[in-house]
Amino acid sequence: MGRWLLAGLIGILPLLAGGGVALAQSQPGGEPKPAPAVDPAAKRKNQLVFKTDLFPLFNHIRCSNCHGRVNMTTGANHAAGPAAQFSNCATSGCHTPKEGFPPAEWQVPPPSMWFAGQDAVGACATLKKHINAEQFLLLVRTDELIHWSFNPGKGRVPAPGGYERFLRKSEEWARGGGFCPEG
């Protein structure tokens, strides 16, 4: 579990590529099936789950630090100054179990996966450029840093609401279609 951790969403993508997540189905002859009709009220409700229940966590320091608030290459908001973008944070000497971090190897995601400073519409679009809703749900269930963010140790503010609530809301969003809020 720890090896593909927060090379974040990057590390999980190769594992999911053949993982049986159906992104599209086709009819005999290779023609794509038309998408099933979506109930507009159900879609709005699903979008609201992302906007009101998930996005506040995306926007919280426990998530946004790694997803763009801290810029490793310039050193912005990083107390230790600049570091190599894809350096291993767990072996850096700063973000180790001794300092209260998870034991697995992890690194900051690339700028294409940053959502700090974005609104719910932008953060959801950024997420879905890289993974679909079911893959996000797998990440929520298995990523050690996500679990850690709700119990980050002494002196750190935990992500609000608790992990179990975040998991329930992530499941609700993914199973309801994983729709992003609209402008």
**pLDDT value at position 23?**
37
**pLDDT value at position 86?**
55
Neighbours of 179 (CB within 10 A): 20
The DSSP-derived string for 83-125 is --TT--GGGSSSSSGGGT--SS---PPPGGG--TT--HHHHHH
Tokens, residue 151 = 């119990």
Q: 94-113 burial, b if ≥16 CB within 10 A, otherwise e?
A: ebeeeeebbebbbbbbeeeb
pLDDT classification of 96: cutoffs 50, 70, 90: low
Q: In the Cβ-directed half-sphere of 63, how many Cα atoms lie within 13 Å?
A: 24
Q: Read off the pLDDT of residues 111-154 as tens digits, 9 standing for 90 and up.
A: 777 777 889 999 899 889 988 999 999 989 998 888 888 888 88
pLDDT classification of 168: cutoffs 50, 70, 90: very high
Tokens, residue 172 = 């609700």
pLDDT classification of 5: cutoffs 50, 70, 90: very low
Identity of the amino acid at 133: A
Q: Read off the pLDDT of residues 47-62 as tens digits, 9 standing for 90 and up.
A: 999 999 998 888 777 6
pTM of the model: 0.69
**pLDDT value at position 37?**
80
Answer with the residue of higher pLDDT: 96 or 118. Answer: 118
With both helix axes pointing from N to C terminus, report the angle between 8-17 and 133-142 in degrees, rounded to the nearest 10: 120
For all residues of the chain together, what is the average pLDDT? 73
**pLDDT value at position 111?**
76
- Work out the percent of the chain whose per-residue pLDDT is above 70: 56
Answer with the residue of higher pLDDT: 59 or 97. Answer: 59
Residues contacting 122, CB < 8 A, separation 6+: 115
**pLDDT value at position 115?**
77
